[in-house]
Structure 1
Amino acid sequence: MAATNFVEIDGSYLEGGGQALRNALSLSCILGKPVRVVNIRANRPKPGLSHQHMHGVKLLRDITNADVVGNTMGSTKLEFIPHTIRSGNYRVAVQTAASITLVYQMALPVLLFADGASQVDATGGTNVAFAPQVEYMDEVLLPNLLRFGVSFELKLLQHGFYPRGNGRCILDVEPVHQVKAGQLVKFGQLDKVGGVAFCAGRLPMSIALDMQQTARREIHRLWPNQECNIKPKKLTFDVASDNGAAILVTAHTTTGCILGSGAVGERKMHGHLLGSNAACKLTEYVRKEICVDAHMQDQLIIYMALAEGCSRMLTGQLTKHTRTAIHVAEQITGVKFEVTMENFDKTLVTCVGLGQLNGLL
């Protein structure tokens, strides 16, 4: 590749996983800045690009007609030079059960700055470990992004579990002129708790009921009279042909905050344990009265960096994912994030964003 002024991102920083790569490439596309990512996923048992990352890179290459060097399995270095963001209908066939939502995490902010509506039809894993579940994307990410003037429509056509995947989703995205500053700092009071607990394939309905009942018991242990509508489901064969189980529990507050916590079954499906894990984490968020849960923190950083005006979010202690996202955003955009400890349990994150305009609309 010809000599270019790359912004170089060290993929081994803090979290040392795919977070740095995803955010770096998304911001590269939006700002039109070439990036070089080195030491990709250096802290993982198998460093370098996996199937999921390769397909995400290929998708962004197609969206921006980018010049790319290093998008091969296991590669620890990638150079990416984007061109114009193009709306359109895109197809991604992620191999095995690699996460669909993490591919969407790369593409969504980019397509907001396209010249028209876009659609991404993806196959892979919908409910897998170490990635947001599709239900979380729809029930928690979407309402949080509405605070930034960002919306999308997500259709779940087929569930996909480890190890085969075979899930399918369609993401529809409308472009924006500009991302608005988001304010997520007032908790209010707990209003309601909802969610879904499901199993599929040859797994018995009792697993879904175990997840539901244990999660409800954990909620009612702290708030005996709290409305808690967690729906148990046995998915039909036409939408989930393989064995799988998962739960997502959400808390809604009187000020419109929505927090979520989930758990995904792997080889051994212990319904009571899955339900307990999801509900205990959610009750921790509610007791602390934070407005953004631990898995939402890092996903909002890129929107805060791009927004017009000052965005603020009140959350718990920052995860390594979030600190990595902040580091990458500051390096590529030049904005600064202010992180203030409100007390031992709360952190206020503030950023005056770029005010990035969509010059294609």
Structure 2
Amino acid sequence: MDANDFVEIDGSYLEGGGQALRNALSLSCILGKPVRVVKIRANRPNPGLSHQHLHGLDLLRDITNADVVGNVLLSTKVEFTPRTILDNTYRVDTRTAASITLIYQMALPVLLFAGRSSRLIVSGGTNVAFAPPVEYMQQVLLPNLKRFGAGFELKVQQYGFYPRGKGTCQLDVQPVAKLNAGQFMDFGRINLVSGVGFCAGRLPVNIAIDMQQTAQREIHRLWPEQECTIETVKHSPEKTRDNGAGILMTANTTGGVVLGASALGKKRIDGHVLGSEASCQLAEYMRKEICVDDYMQDQLIIYMALAVGRSRMRTGRLTKHTRTAIHVAEQMTGVKFDVTVEPGGQTLVTCEGLGQLNKLI
């Protein structure tokens, strides 16, 4: 293929991690455009494709019967030429604690434009550092995607933590004829604050209880009348044999807003610290009355770019991940994102979408 046929994406731009690669490949599959990604993860201590990115790349190769050059570990350049999107049941076993949710992040938009329903079973890490926990995907991403007329069903068969992974999830995706423009503008009033604190393996349930009590105390300190319900869970040995702990908190508003904040236990786990971290982050979103949290911003960009009509979201300061996602979406689709910082410190992001139609339905 002629070099001029490829859209070239600089993977070192802004965030300089896996974000540019993930979004460029997803959009390549949906649009049928060959893409060349260079300087992959240039800003990371170990540049190039990691296990997680390589598994995601090979998965998209299989989904679109693509021609690929550079799909080897630590490769800093990839050329990807997709054909058509094939609905099927796909399986990925990372054999590590590579993030399951980041692999899903690459494949989900693509499978929405398949001809029929698809199933994707991935084994790896469900709750690992530098990636959305699986609970965030279920409880925050799903309701936000419904604003675009899209959805999925995600089941956790086993949980997996660093360093062994061994978690397994099943994602079922129904295709859409098109994506509707998403509107994330009306905060409304806080309706419900809830969450789940979990622990697993040899860790005592008291860690989850510490998370619960500290998180509730923080919310009630700022909003004394606000109901805050946090469930505590000790995962059974059938669900996971390894040690792990974390918390996800969500806030739902009368405007249909769903915000999420999470914290994950590392080597020395203190439930009070985790509960405080998640609740303080969520409280800051609630105080600012934003409609899209920091970790949802970048995930919505690809859907805004593809939608029919003008999407709008009111969020906080844009993260590097989000600015990178905007840059890649504009290069791949030709759409334009408008970003305005409002007087109250909120950021308004709008985009007249490409209006991509599913040609396979």
TM bucket normalised to smaller: over 0.9
Task: Tell me, yes or no, if structure 1 residue 216 matches structure 2 residue 216.
Answer: yes
Counterpart residue type for residue 30 of structure 1 = I
User: Match for residue 240 of structure 1?
Assistant: 240
- For residues 57-96 of structure 1, what are the structure 2 equivalents within 5 Å? 57-96=57-96
Identity %: 70
| Offset at residue 94 of structure 1 (A) | 1.5
Counterpart residue type for residue 237 of structure 2 = F
User: Match for residue 147 of structure 1?
Assistant: 147
Measure, in 1, the Cα distance between the counterparts of 2:207 and 2:345.
Answer: 33
Local SS of the residue matching 1:296: helix
Local SS of the residue matching 1:339: strand
C-alpha distance after superposition, 1:118-160 (max 9, x if no partner) = 0000000000010000000000000000000001000011000
Task: Tell me, yes or no, if structure 1 residue 102 matches structure 2 residue 102.
Answer: yes
| Offset at residue 4 of structure 1 (A) | 5.5
Measure, in 2, the Cα distance between the counterparts of 1:112 and 1:355.
Answer: 14
Counterpart residue type for residue 105 of structure 2 = Q
Measure, in 1, the Cα distance between the counterparts of 2:307 and 2:150.
Answer: 11
Measure, in 1, the Cα distance between the counterparts of 2:5 and 2:147.
Answer: 35
| Offset at residue 22 of structure 1 (A) | 0.1
Counterpart residue type for residue 219 of structure 1 = I
Which moves more between the two structures, 17-26 or 232-241? 232-241
- For residues 156-171 of structure 1, what are the structure 2 equivalents within 5 Å? 156-171=156-171
Query: TM-score, normalization: structure 1?
Result: 0.99
C-alpha distance after superposition, 1:330-355 (max 9, x if no partner) = 00000000001112520000000000
- Counting matched residue pairs gives 361
When the two chains are superposed, the root-mean-square deviation of aligned CA atoms in Å is 0.8
Which moves more between the two structures, 172-181 or 338-347? 338-347
Measure, in 2, the Cα distance between the counterparts of 1:310 and 1:81.
Answer: 29
User: Match for residue 136 of structure 1?
Assistant: 136
Asked if the contact 1:297/1:318 (under 8 Å) is kept, the reply is yes
Local SS of the residue matching 2:237: coil
User: Match for residue 226 of structure 2?
Assistant: 226
| Offset at residue 225 of structure 1 (A) | 1.5
Measure, in 2, the Cα distance between the counterparts of 1:268 and 1:2.
Answer: 53
Local SS of the residue matching 1:150: coil
Deviating runs (4+, > 6 A) in structure 1? none
Local SS of the residue matching 2:247: strand
Task: Tell me, yes or no, if structure 1 residue 17 matches structure 2 residue 17.
Answer: yes
Measure, in 1, the Cα distance between the counterparts of 2:180 and 2:120.
Answer: 24
Local SS of the residue matching 1:286: helix
C-alpha distance after superposition, 1:282-318 (max 9, x if no partner) = 0000000000000000000000000000000000000
Asked if the contact 1:102/1:131 (under 8 Å) is kept, the reply is yes
Gaps of 5+ in 1: none
Measure, in 2, the Cα distance between the counterparts of 1:234 and 1:176.
Answer: 37
Asked if the contact 1:52/1:95 (under 8 Å) is kept, the reply is no
User: Match for residue 286 of structure 1?
Assistant: 286
Measure, in 2, the Cα distance between the counterparts of 1:214 and 1:46.
Answer: 37
Which moves more between the two structures, 320-329 or 341-350? 341-350
Measure, in 2, the Cα distance between the counterparts of 1:278 and 1:345.
Answer: 22
Local SS of the residue matching 2:115: coil
Counterpart residue type for residue 217 of structure 2 = R
Local SS of the residue matching 1:252: strand
User: Match for residue 27 of structure 1?
Assistant: 27
C-alpha distance after superposition, 1:19-70 (max 9, x if no partner) = 0000000000000000000000001111100000000001000000000000
Measure, in 1, the Cα distance between the counterparts of 2:344 and 2:269.
Answer: 35
Counterpart residue type for residue 63 of structure 1 = I
Measure, in 1, the Cα distance between the counterparts of 2:33 and 2:233.
Answer: 46
